[in-house]
Amino acid sequence: MAPSFSDTDSLFNFVVRDGNGVKGMVDLGLSKVPQQYVQPPEERIDKLKAILSDNSPIDLSKLDGPDHDKVAEEIARTSETLGFFQVVNHGVPVELLESLKIAAHKFFGLPPEKKAAYRKGVSPSPLVKYGTSFVPEKEKSLEWKDYVSMLYTNDSEALQVWPEEIKESALEYLRTSIKMARRVLEILIEKLGVTVDDAKIDALIGLNMVNMNFYPKCPNPELTVGVGRHSDMGTLTVLLQDEIGGLYVKLEENRDEEEKREWMEIPSVPNALVINIGDTLQILSNGRYKSAEHRVRTTSEQPRVSIPIFTIPKPTEKIGPLAQLVERDGVALYREVVFGDYMNNFFSNAHEGKKSLDFAQIN
């Protein structure tokens, strides 16, 4: 018989403090979602009210042929409107994508105490953190997600401190994806019509983090979210979805019609990776590229995983609209900020759409 978890403190201690996570709770045999995970009606995901994306994946191999300009234009156009696109022939081996999903399920299938060893405050390395939800201490309703986050410094340290079950596949995923992410970033900068040196591009993706997210089966998926509405703080995010999917992106075109805003479901495409624009690139482009507001639904059918790579500036890097764009546009929409300050603000608040951009926005 599973505990009722009707008491907020007992649930928080079991799931968050003791490191059992949502999976630990589900493994006890939940028949209904605890009240702490029930989202207010306006935050719930109604799949029937979402548009299913019919955008074809972008074939990155065509960047090396006569269709280069056409593909580059498509990348820029999608980044200006939706902020999300899928890519194939991206240079990340298909067999690696499969091994990543297997490794993720293996890690989250470990006994709770094995995963809890990486909790914040007790993890043997500051580069690895296991947790649940996003900022559970500040959330009114918790997110139905467990995760492990691995910060990259160098190969040898990653192999030394990242969890044994996932370190090799995660590191290879990072190695191969970062080359592709840099090329996409170069194209996006070029399409802005500005000149940026290699050192600046390196600085914009100077820090990399691999996350593995686990969304256990949910008895009442219509009441919960796997991840709440948010945009990513960094430059570009590269995401591997499993075959179950569940990713929804806000359609920016309707942003002035609050009550009519619609969501688009990004379906899982075999062998594809999802790329989305982060806040840093929206700030850098003076608002031309859109960091996509997105969220994730849960499912009652089977657990699912997603594996993002976050490419972000180093904490000491200053981010602001490129001077050439401000001169052309005649106005700066954002102030220059130190990325470490932006990051601290991002992780100090619960998910709330694109509110993270307020930190840098000029009113």
Domains of the chain, earliest start first? 11-314 (2.60.120.330)
The predicted structure's pLDDT at residue 255 = 46
213 touches 240 (CB < 8 A)? no
Place of tokens 């045999």: 29
Model pLDDT, residue 189? 97
Phi, psi (5° rounding) for residue 257?
A: -115, 80
Reply yes or no on whether the pLDDT at 227 is more than 80: yes
All residues at 6 or more sequence positions from 129 whose CB lies less than 8 Å from its CB, including other chains: 118, 119, 120, 123, 148, 149
Query: What's the mean pLDDT in 171-183?
Result: 96
3 or 138: which carries more pLDDT confidence? 138
Q: Does 141 score more than 80 pLDDT? A: yes
Judge contact between 78 and 84, C-beta under 8 A.
Answer: yes
Written as one letter, the residue type at 110 is L
Rounded CA gap, 10 and 329, in Å? 54
- Tokens 């995901």 belong to 45
Q: How far apart are CA 70 and CA 178, in angstroms?
A: 23
Say how far apart CA 265 and CA 262 lie, in whole Å.
10
Residue 2 burial (CB count, 10 A): 12
From first CA to last CA, the distance across the chain in angstroms is: 54
pLDDT digits (tens, 9 = 90+) for 229-274: 989 999 999 999 999 989 999 986 544 444 455 899 999 999 999 9
Residues 6+ away with beta carbon under 8 Å from 114: none
- The full DSSP string for 26-93 is HTTT-SS--GGGPPPGGGS--GGGSEEP-PPPEEGGGGGSTTHHHHHHHHHHHHHHTSEEEEES-SS-
Q: How confident is the model at residue 324 (pLDDT cuts 50, 70, 90)?
A: very high
137: Cβ–Cβ under 8 A, 6 or more apart, which residues? none
Q: What's the rounded Cα separation, in Å, for the pair 30 and 232?
A: 31
Backbone angles phi, psi at 9, to 5 degrees: -65, -40
Average pLDDT in the chain: 91
C-beta of residue 329 within 8 angstroms of C-beta of residue 286: yes
Using DSSP, state whether 16 is helix, strand or coil: helix
